[in-house]
Structure 1
Amino acid sequence: MSTLQTLVPPVGYIPDFLTPAVPEGGLSGALEEVRATPPDRLRRDLARLRTTTPLPSWATGLGRPGGRGLRSLTKVLEVSSRALLEPRWDHIRQAVSEEVDTRSRVLLDGGVLALLESLHPFAQWRPPVLEVDYPAHRDLHLEGRGLLLIPSYFCWRRPTALADPALGPVLVFPVTARPLDVSPEKGNRLDRLLGRTRASVLVEVARGRPRSTSEVATAVGIAPASASYQLTVLRDGGLVTSRREGQHMRHAATQLGHRLLEGDRARLH
């Protein structure tokens, strides 16, 4: 873990070579891409990291000819992935899959404009510029290249992008819904803040895919009219977002809603 903490600081730049584009091959394909990082790119990424993060000698020597640095690093990545991520991978994949499904429906229903507008509050579409809530001021010109949108379970609070403008343009943004195991208990803070019924409604729409009003009503055990009213109040408070799909309204918790739940002893799978 100390190796990863050195190269992946909690804030700021993360070397681009650690996040390769791997359309197929999963973990093994990604590790092979990292292992095959060209020395000049490795030195460039580490030099950029060194401007904000002190690096020990082993890190600066990763790209040294004849060294075992990259092989050792990929072994660390493999071991940590197996130990930390693999037991939770089904939940992580479910959250990302549901995000892709949601954004795909938006794209099919409303086109590219609706998709870009759906990125609010992380980003705002001001033609011809997509303004992104980003920790540093920078301009990324597509110059005819497409922009790849990547929902990530591990991206929190705000989107991120590759630092090297020569790499394929990507925008990594937080998944809206993470699989939650949350059950409001009598007397907890969420109940006191929202009321038990409204808290239960918020918990229900935070579970995976967007829910219809009738599905929320059935799950919580209240009348559809009551569910509709509670959802309206939560939506007005910025905790829920709603979108019409055919004859039904689909509801999901916003990032603010998820943060409220996570702050109330929610346990992420």
Structure 2
Amino acid sequence: MTFADEPAPMVELTLAIAALQRADPLFALWRRRTLSTLPRSAGPLLELVPATAKGPLFLDPLSLGFDDGLDQVLSSPIPFVRTELRRVHAAGRRPVPWTRLLADRDREAWQILEHAVRAAQACVLAPAWDRIRAGFDAERAWRVQLLAAQGIRTTLAGLVPGARWHGTTLEFDSTDEVEFTLNGHGITLLPSVFWTGRPLVGRHAQGVFLVYPAVTPLPLLDDPTANALATLLGRTRATILERLTRPRTTTDLARDLGVAKSSVSEHTKALRDAHLITAQRDGKTVWHSCTPLGLGLLTGTPDTTRR
């Protein structure tokens, strides 16, 4: 089992498109705001991706960057495209003429798809990417701490309510009867700030992946009351704490914040004294990272590693 290093832009984009069609009260305000600014050219994605997020898998490769992900989408093998479109249409997603043409590698149809993806990314993902990344980093760091403290079985069973182990099989409540056998291969965990439903499991060229809801969804990351952390710690220290969901050096922090290393050292000392971060020396370099207490403060979750 591994955690993805970064959010996958194409996966987050398809989950965001699904969220725009889902009657989730938590996303109601975000949905109204986003739909009011969504360009018409992005509309075709709403015809491909349903509210369940179970759209064609060629739309959401596990890429580390948007451009790379879009290239993978546009170069999808036609047999894979046809198989996925048949699956989506068989599940009740009514095909429209341009989606039928995707299976024939029709140039105009693929241009429609490319323009739709680019327009949706610019409207939905790009303005929120810093918050998406912050939520992903905090979630990943907290789960890694939990994994180290309580082990893989507890960590996986705690991803969503109702998850449970039956022998060596991890079970989730679902409306689908689907079983994945790893056969010695690993699984990649991919938290999403857009998804609030049951885990989604899929198989890509990179292997099996599992999408699950991050502890803090996007609307809460976007909440103006999130500035309470800056009120409590001070803006600079709050920013440092947010950056330390991944280990960073004093030099990294000074460069990111545009302040002197001596100033960073003062702030990190205060955060260490409050048991919110730790420091480890590697030669002449000092690496700083969040403690479980610091992560709990960022995510609003209890420190489950403390006894």
Q: TM-score range by the shorter chain?
A: 0.5 to 0.7
Relative to structure 1, is the Cα distance of residues 240 and 152 closer, same or farther in structure 2, using a 3 angstrom cutoff? closer
Distance in structure 2 (CA, Å) of the matches to 1:32 and 1:74: 10
Does the aligned pair in 2 maintain the 1:35–1:71 contact within 8 Å?
no
Q: How does 1:1-269 map to 2 (within 5 A)?
A: 1-11=42-52, 13-22=54-63, 24=64, 26-51=65-90, 52-65=92-105, 67-121=107-161, 123-162=163-202, 168-178=207-217, 179-181=221-223, 183=225, 241-245=302-306
2:216 partner letter: A
TM-score w.r.t. the length of structure 1 is 0.65
Relative to structure 1, is the Cα distance of residues 137 and 107 closer, same or farther in structure 2, using a 3 angstrom cutoff? same
Q: What are the superposed Cα offsets for residues 206-265 of structure 1, whole Å, 9 maximum, x if unpaired?
A: xx899xxx99xxxxxxxxxxxxxxxxxxxxxxx9655134xxx7xxxxxxxxxxxxxxxx
SS at match of 1:244: coil
How many pairs does the alignment contain? 200
Identity of matched residues, %:
26
Structure 1's unaligned 5+ residue stretches are 184-207, 216-238, 250-269
1:159 partner letter: P
Distance in structure 1 (CA, Å) of the matches to 2:175 and 2:200: 8
How much has 1:43 moved relative to structure 2? 0.6
Does the aligned pair in 2 maintain the 1:20–1:33 contact within 8 Å?
yes
SS at match of 1:9: coil
Distance in structure 2 (CA, Å) of the matches to 1:149 and 1:73: 27
1:134 partner letter: S
Does the aligned pair in 2 maintain the 1:140–1:165 contact within 8 Å?
no
Relative to structure 1, is the Cα distance of residues 128 and 165 closer, same or farther in structure 2, using a 3 angstrom cutoff? farther
SS at match of 2:159: coil
How much has 1:79 moved relative to structure 2? 1.6
How much has 1:180 moved relative to structure 2? 4.8
Structure 2's unaligned 5+ residue stretches are 1-41, 226-241, 246-273, 276-299
1:109 partner letter: A
Tell me which residue corresponds to 1:228. Answer: none
Distance in structure 2 (CA, Å) of the matches to 1:122 and 1:155: 17
How much has 1:9 moved relative to structure 2? 1.0
Q: What are the superposed Cα offsets for residues 108-137 of structure 1, whole Å, 9 maximum, x if unpaired?
A: 223322322332415222321000132311
Distance in structure 1 (CA, Å) of the matches to 2:189 and 2:162: 12
Stretches of 4+ moved more than 6 A in 1? none
SS at match of 1:109: helix
Q: What are the superposed Cα offsets for residues 40-62 of structure 1, whole Å, 9 maximum, x if unpaired?
A: 11011011111111111110101
Tell me which residue corresponds to 1:187. Answer: none
2:43 partner letter: S
Distance in structure 1 (CA, Å) of the matches to 2:212 and 2:101: 32
Distance in structure 1 (CA, Å) of the matches to 2:59 and 2:207: 15
1:174 partner letter: P
Distance in structure 2 (CA, Å) of the matches to 1:59 and 1:8: 11
SS at match of 2:305: strand
How much has 1:84 moved relative to structure 2? 1.7
CA RMSD after TM alignment: 3.3
SS at match of 1:170: strand
Does the aligned pair in 1 maintain the 2:193–2:213 contact within 8 Å?
yes
Distance in structure 2 (CA, Å) of the matches to 1:125 and 1:45: 30
Distance in structure 2 (CA, Å) of the matches to 1:161 and 1:153: 16
